[in-house]
Chain A
């Protein structure tokens, strides 16, 4: 009847991906050594952030551009910009 997980939800969306990420982890060591919770991997509504043992993988292609990671990162360790004009998420309905 409806979507079960985040992959299926993300699949509903249209993205016009740029080749360059608009999201940048400033220092992966901060994630590794100071941030046990890696809370961005929890609250990001598009599961953009995935911890890979030594570095944070950033799946910017699926970003909704909401801004939560920039505000919610406890170490202000995410540089957040808008994707290039016309790129990024394209909401078709609401």
Chain B
């Protein structure tokens, strides 16, 4: 296998496949290496795929891709022990082409997507682990795999090897993550008949709903839970930063069962049959955790580059966009015949001027703020619930008096100054 390619892409997830597809479309000779039995075998996602970035890679993909439901409603729950404050948006403009986003099951979707790259001319090799990058004279020139005689060479190696990215660590692009830079998330796929899903979530066929749940879903720890509707199943999951799990000594699967048996959640999944249980890390360090993304003969994309906006649960779209931008940088480098860091840095520049780094920059303090000041999750969510309960309980108290009581209970629990500080701090973190 001592062949030479124009590009080797390590990892056939959304980032790697986008990169391989774009390179192949531009006539480059591409090798796409996947360690799983098939693309998707190792990949986990809550389940929301964004139309915009996907469409740039495969126009009108919704006509052929294995998708679950177009999301027409996004709900947000601030959940306490026996109550929930809800808000959300439902719009039929998302129910028609070109749609906004979709729920997907990744094992199927990733296989389909990788097939598109193969159809464009990329060579896909499954069941192969890249053990290290081959570095000669300070330049990455290929990869070593766990196959016999498994050395392969290329002008550029694109690391799309996911959140753990052992390869970019080997190259010294970043140090090992801290437990507060990753979220450990577990989920289950629960089979439920289509009619039940439509009834329970107030949907028609081919309409989907997402629910993000804050507060008691993580027992007040920094994290979120979610329920997403597939065609005939639900994805239900929960995650917190690994540091929170360690600090609170949480067993993730027990937290998931706590969520599944929560009185606000239980009726949604009642009668369902668990079909799969999955655990995965999400890179949530944000802006400050993004490593070096381009070196001599090498580029880092997707989760491997920590490109996730945890606040907006966007990741797959950033993966796809970064993969495409990496491919464009490689195509330019190829036409120049220059694969040095300074040449490939056009990828970094493209990232910086795109929504990816702009959004990560916007929220650069958010994770840190919410980790350091847990009151947003463990105090304000219960407070909101109490306030709403008081406000909507008809007990003969005049409304103005009720408002006064609510304000008083908020300020007496945390103190007026602290409430103002909390509001200012949260605003600063997300403004």
B178 contacts chain A at the CB level, 8 A cutoff: yes
Given A68-B242, A84-B129, A85-B147 in contact, is the A90-B269 Cβ separation under 8 Å? no
Contact of B190 with A94 in the complex, beta carbons under 8 Å: no
Given A86-B126, A90-B41 in contact, is the A64-B179 Cβ separation under 8 Å? no
Chain B residues with CB below 8 A from A43, complex form: 184, 242, 245-246, 250-252
CA distance A75 to B186 in the complex (A): 24
Chain A residue with the shortest CB-CB distance to B164: A67
Contact of B253 with A94 in the complex, beta carbons under 8 Å: no
Among B249-272, those with CB < 8 Å from A are 249-253, 257, 260, 269-272
Contact of B281 with A6 in the complex, beta carbons under 8 Å: no
Chain A residue with the shortest CB-CB distance to B106: A94
A55 contacts chain B at the CB level, 8 A cutoff: no
CA distance A39 to B274 in the complex (A): 28
Contact of B178 with A71 in the complex, beta carbons under 8 Å: yes
Contact of A10 with B271 in the complex, beta carbons under 8 Å: no
Q: Which of A2, A37, A66 is B281 in contact with, Cβ under 8 Å?
A: A66
Chain A residue with the shortest CB-CB distance to B270: A1
Contact of B246 with A91 in the complex, beta carbons under 8 Å: no
Contact of B271 with A1 in the complex, beta carbons under 8 Å: yes
A50 contacts chain B at the CB level, 8 A cutoff: no
The tally of residues in A whose CB lies under 8 Å from a CB in B reads: 42
Interface residue tally on B, bucketed by range = 35 or more
Q: Which of A10, A72, A82 is B277 in contact with, Cβ under 8 Å?
A: A10
* Contact code string B179-193 (vs A, CB < 8 Å = 1, else 0): 100101011111000
Given A66-B184, A93-B275 in contact, is the A39-B249 Cβ separation under 8 Å? yes
Contact of B178 with A66 in the complex, beta carbons under 8 Å: no
Q: Which of B127, B184, B235, B281 is A94 in contact with, Cβ under 8 Å?
A: B235
Chain A residue with the shortest CB-CB distance to B254: A6
Given A1-B271, A13-B276 in contact, is the A71-B177 Cβ separation under 8 Å? yes
Give the distance to chain B from A34, nearest Cβ to Cβ, in Å.
16
Among A61-94, those with CB < 8 Å from B are 64-68, 70-72, 76, 80-86, 88-94
Chain A residues with CB below 8 A from B186, complex form: 45
| A-B residue pairs, 8 tightest by C-beta | A86-B127, A45-B279, A9-B277, A64-B279, A67-B164, A85-B127, A85-B128, A93-B276
